[in-house]
Amino acid sequence: MKMNAVVAGVGMTRFGKHLESGLKAIGAEAVEAALKDAGMTGADIEAAYVGNAAAGLVTGQECIRGQVVLRSAGIGKIPVINVENACASASTALHQAAAMVTAGLYDVVLALGVEKLYHEDKRKSFAAFSGAVDVEAMAEIMARLKEGAKEASPGSSGEGAGENRSMFMDIYAAAARNHMKHYGTTVNQFAGVAAKNSFHGSMNPRAQFREALSVEDVLNSPMIAAPLTRPMCSPIGDGAAAVVVVSERKARSLGLVTPVRISSMVLHSGWDHAPGEEGGAAELCAREAYAEAGVGPKDLSVIELHDASAPAELMAYESLGLCGKGEGGRLIDSGATRLGGPIPVNTSGGLLRKGHPVGATGIAQVVELTEQLRGDSGARQVKGAKVGLAHNGGGSIGSDAAAMCISVLVR
């Protein structure tokens, strides 16, 4: 969808383990930061869209999540719409907020993504991910993952998915092995993604992990699901991120002369592919987002993409048209996606290092892009950044994402 919405303010918490803070405190912190950045108060907000994926499973807050969080921040009366779309919950909430502004229904809308994943019982945390697939097909999915794990590591039982780790790491591991088989991609190239993002994350004060790692460090880390070592897998986390979007009319009244604009946001679901059909939800979203924003891959200054695993980033390069199919490994080897390269990717540290509180992730990407386009990113600033792209997927059905959202921001 072609959008005409202006980013007036952004805010987010540090991502990480916040056992001492509840959903309300975390969400309010991000909202207050975004309002302060916009020079507004809660009374200026006309509607709010709140993304959250797992509160019902982890905290027990099954309903009215957005209302509970916003009331604690002093915001009531307005329409509050709760949005759940797995790991794409926040980007879907922002998509709806920007669409309402674009349609002229509101001048000021808040989009918030908030999540609590840490729990003393880790099985509750991992259950949040197990619900992001077709649960009626769970037995078949688990059998397939276990068989693939046994083939990758002879002697392995293939146990542990969904119990001591997110089952999505096994899904990504299977995709990684398939990419290696078909295109000759190497484990070192996957490790290169994790090392690059650790370098970027080391300069981000809001990142969950700030230690810079070498490729060797990544390769020598504990194995999670072959061939993925721990730094190749995104961690669970707590956190929130918020964006205040406004109409052009409101932007002028606020004195925003050269603001960051949401030029396009495209949201699609995956589908059952026809035999021989190439591409999926990410490719479809990318084509439409580029066309609606009037840009292409070569126009992008900076990208925040859904690196829930290191192989996921490498494969997203191909889906977004940064390189040809099967060439993602060579692109990471070239250094093109590292700060200082022609197309820096995940300058925040990405999900691998910034963290992945699933219901907050999509808006956190937009916070990073907004700050990059404003020139406010400090040591990790991309020089002359003018066009940014966010790529945020959610859930898995078959061989594709259940939901995919791609956004283009310009200044």
Q: Say what the pTM is.
A: 0.95
Catalytic machinery residues: 87, 356
Q: How confident is the model at residue 129 (pLDDT cuts 50, 70, 90)?
A: confident
Q: What is the pLDDT of residues 278-330, one digit of tens each?
A: 899 999 999 999 999 999 999 999 999 999 999 999 999 999 999 999 999 99
Q: How confident is the model at residue 165 (pLDDT cuts 50, 70, 90)?
A: confident
d(CA 369, CA 300) in angstroms, rounded, equals 11
pLDDT of residue 156 exceeding 90, the answer is: no
Question: Residue 62 — very low, low, confident or very high, per pLDDT cuts 50/70/90?
Answer: very high
Q: Residue 158 — very low, low, confident or very high, per pLDDT cuts 50/70/90? A: low
Pair 405, 98: CB distance under 8 Å? no
Give the per-residue pLDDT at 162: 53
68-97: per-residue pLDDT in tens? 999 999 999 999 999 999 999 999 999 999
Task: Give the model confidence (pLDDT) of 166-218 as tens digits.
Answer: 889 999 999 999 999 999 999 999 999 999 999 999 999 999 999 999 999 99
**For residues 279 and 273, what is the distance between their CA atoms, to the nearest angstrom?**
9
Lookup result for tokens 């146990």: 159
3-state secondary structure of 9: strand
For every residue of 331-394, DSSP letters joined together read HHHHTTTSTTSSS-B-TT-HHHHT---TTTHHHHHHHHHHHHHHT--GGGPPTT--EEEEEEEE
Mean pLDDT over 240-246 rounds to: 98
Query: Cα–Cα distances in Å, from 395 out to 131, 141, 208, 355?
Result: 8, 13, 22, 17
Q: Is 85 exposed, middle or buried (0-12, 13-18, 19+ CB in 10 A)?
A: buried
pLDDT (tens digit per residue) in 17-39: 999 999 999 999 999 999 999 99
For residue 199, report the phi and psi dihedrals to the nearest 5 degrees: -65, -45
Q: Are 125 and 26 in contact (CB under 8 A)?
A: no
Q: How far apart are the C-alpha atoms of 410 and 202, rounded to whole Å?
A: 26
CA distance 130 to 162: 6
Instruction: Report pLDDT for 131.
Output: 85
The Cα–Cα gap between 71 and 40 comes to 17
